[in-house]
């Protein structure tokens, strides 16, 4: 079965911006609330235009199918609409929402008048700056999120939707584990960068969608992998790369630091890092050996164990209670 890939917020917003720039009336859907079990959480986005089609997801597909039919028929005109799906037993069967789930969705039209607003959101995400899109009656404004703020919260005038930069994964050291992990991590929502200056190792590394950085890892980390939406995993089996990357990684707020190697190799690495000035408290952040202990042996199994641990450790943003 093919993996189900939900694009990052930035991808959906860029899709909408391109459609608006092309002169298309574009629709942006947001899941405002869910009751019971639902395929997608509050805050999920979906965009559609007649020529560019859709990006994102509001459900498993049945809700989108219904929306497409109604939009193509011009049922909503050019006005926003708030819709509920799965309210009745008949609708639950029709849309095949699990466990009696109900979806509350806002569908809003985007025109050339909204282009500046869309492009500003895209720019903020490209610059890795978090923000809130707040609906205040008939207007939207962009503000800064509050510490610990929920992904989506409703209020009397509308709602607040928090946008965060896309998750970034830096892999240090090309090889088969890096290849497998790069392929697995992208559908899980990570933008993947591979760092290695060794051309012999890079030869033939051709995973689509992966950024290749031919430089020393410490320079790249200092420049690009500093925030809490980042994970850094060293896979080179070469202290000249791995240790160099980790020494700089401890200076960041990256949510995950990992290094591949056996228990013996990992113990030697910790001793070297302490000798280089890394404290015992700092070393508590390092996952080494990296990944969950699933008895992995092959590169694919190792990559799978690493991805599982990345997802387990990734901070979760929850929506606030709605009832």
Give the HSE-up count for residue 154: Cα atoms under 13 Å, Cβ half-sphere.
13
Of 19-33, 36-50, 304-318, the range with the lowest mean pLDDT is 36-50
What pLDDT is attached to residue 170?
98
What pLDDT is attached to residue 1?
26
Q: Above 90 in pLDDT, residue 39? A: no
Q: Above 50 in pLDDT, residue 50? A: yes
Gap between the Cα atoms of 198 and 248, Å rounded? 20
pLDDT digits (tens, 9 = 90+) for 242-274: 999 999 999 999 999 999 999 999 999 999 999
What pLDDT is attached to residue 17?
96
Q: Can you give the pTM of this predicted structure? A: 0.78
The larger pLDDT score, comparing residue 280 to residue 148, is at: 280
Q: Calculate mean pLDDT across residues 86-109.
A: 65
pLDDT digits (tens, 9 = 90+) for 119-142: 999 999 988 899 999 988 777 899
Q: Above 80 in pLDDT, residue 305? A: yes
């Amino acid at each position: 079965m093919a993996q189900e890939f939900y694009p990052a917020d930035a991808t959906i917003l860029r899709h909408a911006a391109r459609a608006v720039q092309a002169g298309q009336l574009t629709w942006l859907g947001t899941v405002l609330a869910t009751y019971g079990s639902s395929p997608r959480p509050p805050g999920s986005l979906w965009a559609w235009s007649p020529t560019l089609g859709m990006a994102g997801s509001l459900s498993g597909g049945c809700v989108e199918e219904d929306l497409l039919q109604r939009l193509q028929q011009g049922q909503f005109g050019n006005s926003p609409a708030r819709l509920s799906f799965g309210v009745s037993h008949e609708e639950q069967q029709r849309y095949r929402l699990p466990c009696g789930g109900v979806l509350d969705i806002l569908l809003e039209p985007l025109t050339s008048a909204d282009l500046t607003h869309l492009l500003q959101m895209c720019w903020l995400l490209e610059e890795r700056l978090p923000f809130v899109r707040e609906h205040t009656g008939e207007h939207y404004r962009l503000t800064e999120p509050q510490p610990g703020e929920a992904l989506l919260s409703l209020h009397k005038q509308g709602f607040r939707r928090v946008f965060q930069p896309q998750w970034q994964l830096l892999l240090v050291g090309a090889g088969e584990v890096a290849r497998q992990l790069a392929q697995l991590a992208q559908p899980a929502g990570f933008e993947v960068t591979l760092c290695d200056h060794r051309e012999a190792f890079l030869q033939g590394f051709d995973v689509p969608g992966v950024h290749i950085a031919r430089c020393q890892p410490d320079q790249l980390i200092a420049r690009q992998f500093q925030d809490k939406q980042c994970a850094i995993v060293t896979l080179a089996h070469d202290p000249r790369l791995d240790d160099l990357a980790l020494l700089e990684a401890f200076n960041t707020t990256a949510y995950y630091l990992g290094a591949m190697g056996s228990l013996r190799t990992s113990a030697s690495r910790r001793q070297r890092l302490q000798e280089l000035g890394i404290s015992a408290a700092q070393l508590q952040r390092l996952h080494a050996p990296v990944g969950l202990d699933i008895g992995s042996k092959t590169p694919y199994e190792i990559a799978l164990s690493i991805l599982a641990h990345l997802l387990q450790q990734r901070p979760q943003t929850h929506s606030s209670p709605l009832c």
